[in-house]
Structure 1
Amino acid sequence: MIFKQLDDERLVGLLRDGQMAAFEEIYRRYWYKLYCIAYHQTGIREDAEELVQEVFLKLWSRRSEVLIRHLGMYLTIAVKNQVYDYIKSQISYRKYQEYLIFQEIHQNHNTDEIINFTDLTEAVEKVLNQLPEKSAEVFKRSRFENQSVREIAKGLNLSEKAVEYHITKSLRFLKDNLKEYHSDN
Structure 2
Amino acid sequence: MSDVINNERLRMLLRSHPGEAIELLHQFYSESLFKIAYRFSRDEEASRDIVQETFLQVWAKRKELSQYHEKSIEHYLVRTVRNMSVSHFKRKRHLNIDDFQFLKVYRDSSAPFEEALIEQELISRMRAFIMTFPFRERQCLLMKIDDELSLNQIAANLRISRKMVEKSQTSALKRLRKWAKDYSKENENLFSDEGR
Q: Which consecutive unaligned segments of at least 5 residues does structure 1 have?
A: 129-139, 149-177
Aligned counterparts of 2:29 and 2:5: Cα–Cα separation in 1: 14
Task: Tell me the residue number matched to 1:165.
Answer: none
Structure 2 CA distance for partners of 1:103 and 1:75, relative to 1, 3 Å? closer
Question: Does residue 18 of the first structure (1) align with residue 26 of the second (2)?
Answer: no
Written as runs of structure 1 = structure 2, the 5 A alignment for 1:50-69 is 50-66=49-65, 67=67, 68=69, 69=71
Instruction: Name structure 2 gaps, 5 residues minimum.
Output: 129-189
1:7-156 alignment to 2 at 5 Å? 7-66=6-65, 67=67, 68=69, 69-90=71-92, 94-95=95-96, 97-100=97-100, 104-105=104-105, 117-120=108-111, 122=113, 145-146=124-125
- Cα contact 2:18–2:59 (8 A) shared by 1: no
The amino acid of 2:109's aligned partner reads T
Aligned partners of 2:102 and 2:21: how far apart in 1?
A: 52
Higher helix share: 1
The alpha-carbon distance between structure 1 residues 141 and 59, as it changes in their structure 2 partners (threshold 3 A), is same
Question: What's the offset of the Cα at 1:99?
Answer: 4.7
Higher relative contact order (CA 8 A, sep 6+): 2
**Which residue identity is paired with 2:98?**
E
CA offset at residue 79 of structure 1? 1.1
Query: For 1:18-62, what per-residue CA distance to the aligned partner results, in whole angstroms no more than 9, with x for missing partners?
Result: 342222111111111111111111111111111111110110121
User: Per the alignment, do residues 143 and 103 of structure 1 end up closer, same or farther by CA in structure 2, a change over 3 Å counting?
Assistant: closer
Once residues 104 and 121 of structure 2 are traced to their aligned partners in structure 1, the CA distance between those partners, rounded to angstroms, is 23
Report if the CA contact (8 A) 1:17-1:64 is conserved: no
Structure whose CA Rg is larger: 1
Amino acid at match of 1:80: R
Percent of pairs with identical residues: 24
Aligned residue pair count: 127
Scaled by the length of structure 1, the TM-score of the pair is 0.52
Distance 1:141 1:91 in 2: 10
- Structure 1 stretch displaced more, 82-91 or 29-38: 82-91
Distance in 1 separating the partners of 2:74 and 2:57:
15
Cα distance 1:123–1:51, how it changes in 2: closer, same or farther (>3 A)?
closer
Q: Taking structure 1 as reference, are residues 54 and 100 closer, same or farther at Cα in structure 2, changes over 3 Å only?
A: closer
Cα root mean square deviation, aligned: 3.8
